[in-house]
Structure 1
């Protein structure tokens, strides 16, 4: 079952878990039923929750992400002023907090940009700070094939970046998982933020248009400053490889967690 994520405010891959019918699991009742808590693997087993696509993929090493985290930590260490006689432990804690705050700020900016794009395509008011980004994305989407499955990513800047520095295996894996869950969908109109349910996993597809059975996988990278957009249409062989990699990652995740949930029939 695939349902519009707009029915569930703030639905995102960061939720980690979905119910078998595709509804995001923001919070679940605690074991004693006295409060709502963020779900973990124990709740998932009890409630038959499905892991998100990105949760599954976290079972794999992400050297690029880890390198970026180290860079943010180093930048914070260079820019923060250390108090006289401040203990190493205290300073390092502040550096860690500062680097995490910067990462959260960037993530929030990406979320607001995604929201602006969706609102613009729906004819709604949107944050005009992203007007240039929206227009560039519109032009790129108009140039895409009749049918496609796409995912938005953001970077601070695309200036001087080659394609190999923008698009990674993780991108096509994620897209392939969404596309597999959308196999039975046939819609000629643009659909944004749709929660999709696959065999043993679920997720949220940024945008797709399934007017025929063949729908190329498309990564759309958006540069924030200055506004810029780069697009990669993955070759069929790359898409097949992406699905194969995700399948193996899903199996590894299930074995590692001793949990293999099923979607609703």
Structure 2
């Protein structure tokens, strides 16, 4: 990252914190209507490419972030959503790392989200072998985290107060959806699976409840945007999380 920081040709966007209120008030926002809601089996980068054609840089990306380490396992070759975004946009990692050096990490997942406007993406993700774009794509990245239920203390807290955890997840998603009302397209990612998932015995019910909180937050805030698209990329043999979120958010 020293090369990026010292280069006069590459601008590193600033990341700033936004406090998550106890009650998210979106009544003062100017609505975009109507809102189309989708749940799709695509990566965040694929959706950014798709919506950039029509909406340009009026796009927000929900980065499911690591609340301890900027970029998560980016430097260790991990391949979850945040790490893939950092590979597609090195300035995103540079911005988060710079933010960390100013005290931005670690952060409490239920108290803050992070906003990084004007992030340029120079290439796609591994689904397209990180192919470079002729022209960079630009959007706002909104980084948020969820509970780490591998952590014993957080798991015990969840087991004793599950409804509070679900309420906090709802507040996080609502804040992500309302923090930048000028954005026309919001691309969301899913909680409840992956590295921070609960033990297998709790996994299915937890994901159902998390999906319900996403559905509630989307329904409350849907008129803020023209499109809300939840992208959950999965292999054909591992569609459980995608199936749960689609069934809950878009019931037939």
TM-score by length of 1: 0.25
If you compute each CA radius of gyration, which structure gives the higher value, 1 or 2? 1
- Which gives a bigger RCO, structure 1 or 2 (Cα 8 Å, sep 6+)? 2
